[in-house]
Chain A
Amino acid sequence: MSMTITEKILAKASGRRKVDPGENVWLDVDVLMTHDVCGPPTIGIWKREFGKDAKIWNKDKLVIFPDHYIFTKNPQANRNVEILREFAKEFNVQNYYDVGTERYKGVCHIALAEEGYNIPGTVLFGTDSHTCTSGAFGMFSTGVGNTDAAFILGTGKIWEKIPQSLKFTFEGKLPAYLTAKDLILKVLGEITTDGGTYCALEFDGDAVFDLSMDERMTLTNMAIEAGAMNGIIAADAVTEAYVKRRTNKSYEIYNSDADASYKSKFVIDASKLEPSVAKPHSPDNYDSVRNVKGTKLTKSYIGSCTGGKLSDFISAAKILLGQKVKIPTFIVPASTSVAQQLDEETISGITLKQIFENAGCAIAQSSCAACLGGPMDTTGRAVDGETIISTTNRNFPGRMGSKKSAVYLASPLTVAASAINGVITDPRDFL
């Protein structure tokens, strides 16, 4: 009867005592999340299939965050938000966080955590490939297409194939010059962009449980970069404290059995790793910062659901305190709550916001912004000929805007150090 954490959660959601990898089962969905890019087509399919009398299966379980194409004059992008707004009004969707109001939150995956929708032991689906981020809370979460999302919207159910699991145990202590981004880039370098196809990536080990929730979300966020269905970290006291501050919903904690079976297991000594990058144009194009240092840059970018959390800005600020950046450097808080904390958190008595401003960084409004390029007027968007270092999660050709730009992915420490020198720089030079 031994099972992994992912198998246990999916067994419960499908009403079974035991599930095995490869089995297709029907799940009861706890939360469906959508945003301004995939929400409108999902609503379209739902209306087509369910007709005039279309009903949302459970309004409390639907959450909508406009976040992708927000601060733009692009008419199609604005029309999408308009569709969400009308839908929320017509169907009285309470969990709609409209842009231009005090309720606006920013990037969906971080807002889900902050607003108390991430609950250990539950099942969350979203119309976004990085929905796997929520797995940091000891829950099952994954992305689906618009047809599947429309089906969930009408029924609250969806089928899923039970994934095999890959286990990554990070032993030892993470040195001060590394962050969770260095760990996940290492994983991607090892298993490549299809090494996790249709699998669950389970993260374990002392170095993982030492991490804050922000940092844990960096690990699970990039599970999809390996083709994985979900990333997952069992809930512990750190998780419980985070969740209890945000919701009084009950939760259930699951752990993998010691003799659960895995497709493969990796044990990595975190204390021996080096600051890492993913070179252009793929997140699995791993290298150490040491090997690429000195590469000339035109821009640096700290933002997105994977690299724009409070912990990312604390890391960056440690390096940027009292320094000046040599290249345009964008600070894009993932959420409005993170933006507010930039004003409150201090290092040596100076707020993070002040540190960034003194260093010459540009601070943008919370949203996905240039993480996925976006409309031409998006802050920080890549233009032809640029070489960018970024804390985001994808560096496929054209992902941040121009197809003729090159993007290095790295930790906020490495990005901040590189911004000061204008060339790729090892953060140890500043710590």
Chain B
Amino acid sequence: MEKIIKGKAFVLGNNIDTDQIIPAEHLVYSMTDPEEIKKYGHFAFSGVPASQAGLPQGGVQFIEGENHISEFSIVIGGANFGCGSSREHAPFALQVAGVKAIVAESYARIFFRNSVDGGFLLPYETPVKLNDKIKTGDELEIEVASNILKNVTTGESFNLRALGDILPIIEAGDIFKYARQSGMLA
């Protein structure tokens, strides 16, 4: 895993539910077929109302045209990110779209778990509200070792909450790979 996660910010509001992340009608695609998987990336965040997509202005396309990978790879959310159903497709779709990390004030528990245990992305928590301080398109850097988020565009820095025991799971790949590496599993 990269030691510094670099990317452009895509900023969203509170209560981004799993239907906004990947609408239920798109859950039909295979999660193993390399071609079909791209659909998940293509439809990632397609349920977010246009006015809320890419704050502060909104109206920003997360995915351009027929792409399945976004130009934005760090998502800045508000409170209760990933609420709604327990679908594992949600963090998966964001991973396919190239999202490496989310920074939010809080997460719905099952989304958080699925993100980590499936090894899809890094769900960082911020102790302070950031979706009104960072703008969509800002260039960001997250230093994983120190949990510091740097806004390269503005020069500001923020401390994120440490990932603690779950970082090694994400570094290993997923919960099963982690357990094998750490000798928990043969």
A residues bordering B, Cβ < 8 Å? Answer: 22-26, 49-50, 129, 143-148, 151, 154-155, 157, 159, 161, 194, 197-198, 227, 229
Are B106 and A198 interface neighbours, CB within 8 A? yes
Chain B's closest residue to A197 (CB) is B80
Chain B's closest residue to A46 (CB) is B176
Are B83 and A194 interface neighbours, CB within 8 A? yes
- Between B80, B109, B165, the greatest number of chain A beta carbons within 10 A of the residue's beta carbon is seen for B109
Cα distance A413–B175 when bound, in Å? Answer: 46
Chain B's closest residue to A23 (CB) is B164
Q: Mark B143-186, 1 if CB is under 8 A from A, else 0.
A: 00000000000000000010111100100000110010000110
Cα distance A159–B86 when bound, in Å? Answer: 17
Are B179 and A194 interface neighbours, CB within 8 A? no
Are A147 and B164 interface neighbours, CB within 8 A? no
**Whole-angstrom distance from the CB of B183 to the nearest CB of chain A?**
12
Are A144 and B113 interface neighbours, CB within 8 A? yes
Would you call B45 an interface residue if the criterion is a C-beta within 8 Å of the partner chain's C-beta atoms?
no
Are B106 and A151 interface neighbours, CB within 8 A? no
- Residues of A contacting B83 with CB < 8 Å? 194, 197, 227
Are B114 and A145 interface neighbours, CB within 8 A? yes
Would you call B118 an interface residue if the criterion is a C-beta within 8 Å of the partner chain's C-beta atoms?
yes
- Residues of A contacting B114 with CB < 8 Å? 145, 147
- Residues of B contacting A26 with CB < 8 Å? 165
- Residues of A contacting B139 with CB < 8 Å? none
Cα distance A151–B185 when bound, in Å? Answer: 10
**Whole-angstrom distance from the CB of A141 to the nearest CB of chain B?**
14
Are A157 and B184 interface neighbours, CB within 8 A? yes
Q: Mark B94-134, 1 if CB is under 8 A from A, else 0.
A: 00000000000011111011101110000001000000000
- Residues of B contacting A151 with CB < 8 Å? 117, 175-176, 179
- Residues of B contacting A129 with CB < 8 Å? 86
Are B175 and A25 interface neighbours, CB within 8 A? no
Are A197 and B109 interface neighbours, CB within 8 A? yes
Are B108 and A227 interface neighbours, CB within 8 A? yes
